[in-house]
Amino acid sequence: MSDTLILQPTLAADASVIWLHGLGADRYDFLPVAEALQERLYSTRFVLPQAPTRPVTVNGGYAMPSWYDILAMSPARAIDEAQLEESAQRLLGLIEAEIASGIAPARIFLAGFSQGGAVVLHTALLRWRGPLGGVLALSTYAPTFNDALTFDDNKKKLPVCCMHGTFDDVVPPALGRAAYDCLIAQGVPATWREYPMAHEVLPEQVRDIGAWLVAHLG
């Protein structure tokens, strides 16, 4: 897509990371992180899509890049699920495009920060039916997870790394932990990592992300 930023690797691409930014950010938000990670991942392509600009109810109806509208913040996030599904379908299209370019599904990773992470978790666990390399869920939550869910067998092999700041006052750690607990309850091989940070990304965390990707790419 013309509004998707593609960062090609030094070597011929044999793996991909599709990375969704957070609310109010844009496709360039994680470009420096992708560039830093490519210093270790010489054959990994980074795909950075741009969310559409639309009104966000909890921000007074102000229009900003958003994967879906947030209708209320408490007691739990109330969201526009139809818009979330639209974003999930777009992400599915990006996965299919990477497969069509020659990348094996097991070497495609989904990463998302905050609202982008919610789209990634929804898409990877509830909409994509094939294998994937793994999921990076950063400072995020899972508004479509609940106790009645049953994940398919592919998800029992899907590595998910959940990372959260202990001082996050935008997406409280309890929301992220609830998503992680749901994954564990369903037999998904998820890990939980906390950092002394707010709603952000730290250099130490980027190094850990790089190590996690290297470990799973072999």
Catalytic residue IDs: 114, 168, 199
List the one residue out of 50, 44, 3 whose CA is nearest residue 29. Answer: 50
Place of tokens 């097991």: 106
> Which of 86, 46, 93 is closest to 67 using CA atoms?
86
The distance from CA 53 to its chain's CA centroid, rounded to whole angstroms, is 19
Question: How many other C-beta atoms are found inside a 10 Å radius of the C-beta of residue 183?
Answer: 26
117: left (phi over 0), alpha (psi -120 to 50) or beta: alpha
The SS3 assignment for 133 reads coil
Please state the φ and ψ torsions of residue 32, each to the nearest 5 degrees: -60, -35
Chain centre distance of CA 70: 17
Separation between Cα atoms, residue 75 and residue 111, nearest integer Å: 26
